[in-house]
Chains A and B, each alone.
Chain A
Amino acid sequence: MPKCSCCGRELKEKDKGKTWRECRYCGLPVCFNCTHYVGTTVRDLFGEHVEVVCVCGTCRIRK
């Protein structure tokens, strides 16, 4: 059973996307209480845009 990488809460596999998500950078499960959202500049065929991704507390880039 996966556990939140920040608070250690036990998470259910079936609730993925509902109560927890994987960190975009490290790939560890993070519950929605510990999730942070950061804007990342993405350069693709259409040009540059900011994509918001969910990250854990350790991967969060502080301002």
Chain B
Amino acid sequence: MSKAPLLRPFSQRRAEKARAKRGKSRKKRTEKRRCTLPQFSGKRPIPKRQRESAASRREEKRPGGSPRRRRREAREKRKSRRPAAMSPKLKREAVSPTPKSLRAFSCQLKEGERWMERRMQVKARGGARRAHHPSLDQVSISVVGKGVYNPPPPSLEVKIGEVCNRKLVKMDGEKSVLEACRVMGKRRIGSVLVTLKGKPYGIFTERDLLSRVLAEGVDPRRAKLKDHCSAPLITVDENYTVRECARIMSDMGVRRLLVTSGGKLVGIFTSSDLTRVLSRAPLDF
């Protein structure tokens, strides 16, 4: 039995009519869209050669392809650059370290670093937020931000050429001690390199100021740098390690070593540089 149309309200009927109309038009449109393709329209498909020639013509017209194609290629390139997916076993280990992994990671710093790397990889993918290893409290690896792994800081085996101060403050030996003191105070440094006719001659340090100028009652305004500086210079090659330099400094009773490379002065290694390296060196346990 069919439904009585009069039982429905007028507004409902009107809505139904409109819906039917819309559905018809959509169907028409979709059909039209589908029909444009040669496979659906019943037309003869374009041969491969023709298609290729058309593609080459398009390539000539637009070098590098269409914007859509370029975008797709870039997306694929980005995808290929991403690191390989972590195995579920590794992921499990990173999330909750088992006693076995604890044993493996607790002693060696390198192992700790590797663990850290893995952990950061997991973290970068948005997982394993709770991951924490007790040995990491003792390992000096700085973590900045999400998924960022900082390389380990310099150790005592680093060459001094890498950690020395390359900014040498030079002053002519004819200048007064007072001027040198002003420069040292302004730049917050403890020594200046004294030169004679452009060539390095000696070094004027805070100790020289105390023991050779002030203690002897010399007027710093009149005293010349070349008369009160420490000469000759004590130099080391840049290939020496920080550990060796620390030993040299303690053996020779100096706080500053000038760094040379191929017979040329390249920098200065001071006790403050040594403390800086020591404070950032990883623990060796």
Chain A nearest CB from B114 CB (Å) reads 21
Which residues of chain A from 1 to 44 have any CB-CB distance to chain B below 8 Å in the complex? 17-18, 32, 35, 37, 39, 41-42, 44
B244 touches A18 (CB 8 A): no
- Residue among B200, B237, B252 making CB contact with A47, cutoff 8 Å: B200
Residues of B within 8 A of A42 (CB): 235
Residues of B within 8 A of A37 (CB): 244, 247-248, 251-252
A59 at the interface (CB under 8 A from B): no
Contact of A41 with B241 at beta-carbon distance under 8 Å, contacts A47-B200, A51-B260 already known: no
Residues of B within 8 A of A17 (CB): 159, 239, 241
B252 touches A39 (CB 8 A): yes
B184 at the interface (CB under 8 A from A): no
A32 touches B234 (CB 8 A): no
Residues of B within 8 A of A47 (CB): 196, 199-201, 232
| A contacts with B: majority SS | strand
Count: A-B pairs, CB below 8 Å: 51
- Residue among B201, B237, B244, B252 making CB contact with A32, cutoff 8 Å: B244
Residues of A within 8 A of B244 (CB): 32, 35, 37, 54
Interface size class of B (residues with CB under 8 A): 20 to 34
Residues of A within 8 A of B233 (CB): 49-50
B99 at the interface (CB under 8 A from A): no
B200 touches A39 (CB 8 A): no
Contact of A41 with B232 at beta-carbon distance under 8 Å, contacts A46-B199, A49-B200, A51-B260 already known: yes
Residues of A within 8 A of B9 (CB): none
B162 at the interface (CB under 8 A from A): no
Residue of B nearest to A54 (CB): B244
Contact of A52 with B257 at beta-carbon distance under 8 Å, contacts A37-B248, A37-B251, A46-B199 already known: yes
A51 touches B243 (CB 8 A): no
Chain B nearest CB from A45 CB (Å) reads 8
Interface size class of A (residues with CB under 8 A): 10 to 19
B199 touches A51 (CB 8 A): no
Residues of B within 8 A of A39 (CB): 234, 252
Chain B nearest CB from A48 CB (Å) reads 5
Residues of A within 8 A of B232 (CB): 41, 47-50
Q: Which of B201, B233, B243 has the most CB of A within 10 A?
A: B233
Which residues of chain B from 233 to 285 have any CB-CB distance to chain A below 8 Å in the complex? 233-237, 239, 241, 243-244, 247-248, 251-252, 257-258, 260, 263
Residues of B within 8 A of A52 (CB): 234-236, 248, 252, 257
Chain B nearest CB from A31 CB (Å) reads 12
Chain B nearest CB from A25 CB (Å) reads 15
Complex: how many Å from CA A45 to CA B263? 9
Residues of A within 8 A of B260 (CB): 51
Complex: how many Å from CA A54 to CA B234? 14
Chain A nearest CB from B18 CB (Å) reads 84
Chain A nearest CB from B178 CB (Å) reads 26
Q: List 10 A-B contacts (CB under 8 A).
A: A37-B247, A39-B234, A39-B252, A41-B232, A42-B235, A47-B196, A49-B235, A49-B258, A50-B233, A51-B237
